[in-house]
Structure 1
Amino acid sequence: MLNIWRLKLLVQFQTLGTMQRVSEMMHTSIAAVSQQLNLLEKETNLILFEKVGRRMQLTPEGQSLVNKIRPVLNQLESIENSLTDTSEEVQGTVRIAVFTSALEKVVIPAVSQLSQLYPKLQIRLTEMEPDISLPALDAYQFDLAIVAYSEKPHLLEQSHRKVIKLGHDRLRVLVSDKNPIAKQSHIGIESLKAQNWVLEPDGTYLCEYTKNLCRSAGYEPNVINVVQSYLSMHSMIAQDLAIGILPTLAIIESIQGIHMIDLQPEPTRDIYLVARKNTTTTRAMKIVMDTLCHRCQSIVDLCHE
Structure 2
Amino acid sequence: MAIPKLQAYALPESHDIPQNKVDWAFEPQRAALLIHDMQDYFVSFWGENCPMMEQVIANIATLRDYCKQHNIPVYYTAQPKEQSDEDRALLNDMWGPGLTRSPEQQKVVDRLTPDADDTVLVKWRYSAFHRSPLEQMLKESGRNQLIITGVYAHIGCMTTATDAFMRDIKPFMVADALADFSRDEHLMSLKYVAGRSGRVVMTEELLPAPIPASKAALREVILPLLDESDEPFDDDNLIDYGLDSVRMMALAARWRKVHGDIDFVMLAKNPTIDAWWKLLSREVK
TM norm structure 2:
0.25
Q: Which has the higher strand share?
A: 1
TM norm structure 1:
0.24
